[in-house]
Amino acid sequence: MPNLVRRRELLTFGAAAGLATIAAPAWARNLDVWEPRRAILKNLHTGDAFNDVYFANGSYIPDALAEANRVMRDWRTGDQHFIDPGLFDALHAISGKLEARKPFQIISGYRSPRTNAMLHSRSKGVAQNSQHTLGKAIDVRMEGVQLTHLRDAAIAVGAGGVGFYPVSNFVHVDTGRVRQWRGS
């Protein structure tokens, strides 16, 4: 029975990854389809890390995406969710723009609706219908990279939503519509 569950998960990830390729934003379509893409992530709350190729030979790698999704889980509840592969593509493009090989330090990846509601009740800065609850957002920083440079790289690659939070020391990146804002 566990093999059937695993197989179903891989098929789900594979199908969603295929759809993400079709619906990719213009900047992502400019990525070389044969160039391997790597994500380097470090979850500051759990200590979990991901440093692997998630896309190669023209397609997403389901096992790698599943592991990256685990690293991006809601650290408060342990809930996991499918993460839009386009978000990893955005991070790959940002990393390339910065010419950086250091991990993106994850402040917040996926947020369960329960976690998001709790955070929204405590702060006006947390959207009620956050892209985090859809698996389409990440809040990050990168050791040795000025926050303004990280923000500028995200804007330059057209990553979608880019929020700049200098007081809280992170940049929000999502795969929603292109927009920018400044938080605290």
DSSP H helical segments within 123-159, as ranges? 147-156
| 8 A C-beta contact, residue 5 and residue 36 | no
Confidence check: pLDDT of 10 > 50: no
CA–CA dist 149, 162 (Å, integer): 12
Position 182 pLDDT exceeds 60: yes
Identify the pLDDT of residue 159: 85
Confidence category of residue 127, pLDDT binned at 50, 70, 90: confident
Q: Tell me how far apart the 2 most distant CA atoms of the chain are, in Å.
A: 49
CA distances for 60 relative to 66, 154, 174, angstroms = 11, 22, 19
Q: Report the candidate in 51, 49, 48, 53 with the shortest Cα–Cα distance to residue 40.
A: 51
**Bigger pLDDT: 14 or 108?**
108
Predicted TM-score (pTM) of the model is 0.83
Q: Which of 157, 52, 17, 167 is closest to 180 using CA atoms? A: 157
Q: Which domains does the chain have, with CATH numbers?
A: 2-182 (3.30.1380.10)
pLDDT category at 9 given cuts 50, 70, 90 is: low
Q: How confident is the model at residue 25 (pLDDT cuts 50, 70, 90)?
A: low
Place 82 in a pLDDT band, splitting at 50, 70 and 90. Answer: very high
